[in-house]
A and B are shown apart, each in its own frame.
Chain A
Amino acid sequence: MAEVAYVKASRIFSGNPPVRAVDELSLDVSDGEFLVLVGPSGSGKSTALRMLAGLEDVDEGAIKIGGKDVTNVPPKGRDIAMVFQSYALYPHMTVAENMGFALKLRGVNKAEIKEKVAEAAKMLDLTKYLERKPKALSGGQRQRVAMGRAIVREPSVFLMDEPLSNLDAKLRVETRANIAALQQRLGTTTIYVTHDQVEAMTMGHRVAVLKDGLLQQCDTPRALYDKPANAFVAGFMGSPAMNLKTVPLTSEGAKLDGIVVPLERHAMDTASAEGLNEVTFGIRPESLALVGSQHHGMEMTVELVEELGADALVHGAVRIGASSERFVVRVDGRTPPTLGQTVKVAVRDATEIHLFHPESGFRLTN
Chain B
Amino acid sequence: MTVEAASLKAVPATRPQRKRSERSKAASIALHAALVIASLIAVFPVFWVLVTSFKPDARAVETTPTLFNESSVDNYVRILSGDKGDFLAWFGNSVLIALMTTVIAVFLSATTGYAASRFRFPGKRSLMLSFLVVQMFPFAVLIVPLYNILLALGLQGTSFGLVLVYCTTAVPFCTYMLKGYFDTIPTDIDEAGRVDGLSPFGVFWRLVMPLARPGLAVTAFYAFLTAWGEVAFASAFLSAADESKTLAVGLQVFVQQNRTEWGHLAAASILVAVPAIAVFYLVQRFLVTGLSSGAVKG
Contact = CB atoms under 8 A, between A and B. Distances in A.
Q: Taking the complex as a whole, does A directly touch B, i.e. does some CB pair lie under 8 Å apart?
A: yes
Interface of A: 50, 53-55, 74-76, 80-82, 84, 86, 88-92, 101-102, 105-106, 149, 153
A86 B195 contact: no
Interface of B: 186, 188-189, 191-199, 202, 207, 210-211
Contacts of B197: 75-76, 102, 105-106
B201 to A, nearest CB: 12
11 contacts: A55-B194, A75-B191, A76-B196, A81-B195, A82-B192, A82-B195, A84-B188, A84-B192, A90-B193, A101-B196, A102-B196
Contacts of B210: 92
Contacts of A101: 196
A153 B195 CA distance: 11
Contacts of A50: 191
A53 B211 CA distance: 24
B198 A76 contact: yes
Given A86-B186, A88-B186, A74 B191 contact: no
B196 A55 contact: no
B199 A88 contact: no
Nearest to A91: B211
Contacts of B191: 50, 53, 55, 75, 82, 84, 88
Contacts of A90: 189, 192-193, 207
B112 to A, nearest CB: 23
A217 to B, nearest CB: 29
A52 to B, nearest CB: 11
Contact of A75 (B188, B194, B207, B211): B194
Contact of B196 (A86, A91, A105): A105
A38 B188 CA distance: 21
B194 A105 contact: no
A90 B189 CA distance: 7
Contact of B211 (A74, A76, A81, A92): A92
B199 A76 contact: yes
Contacts of A55: 191, 194-195
Nearest to A86: B188
Contacts of B202: 105
A294 to B, nearest CB: 62
Nearest to A76: B197
Nearest to A78: B195
Contacts of B199: 74, 76
Given A76-B199, A91-B211, 16 more contacts: A54-B194, A55-B191, A55-B195, A74-B199, A75-B191, A75-B194, A75-B197, A76-B195, A76-B198, A82-B191, A86-B188, A88-B188, A89-B192, A90-B193, A92-B211, A105-B196
B192 A88 contact: yes
A105 B188 CA distance: 18
B71 to A, nearest CB: 49
A92 B193 CA distance: 13
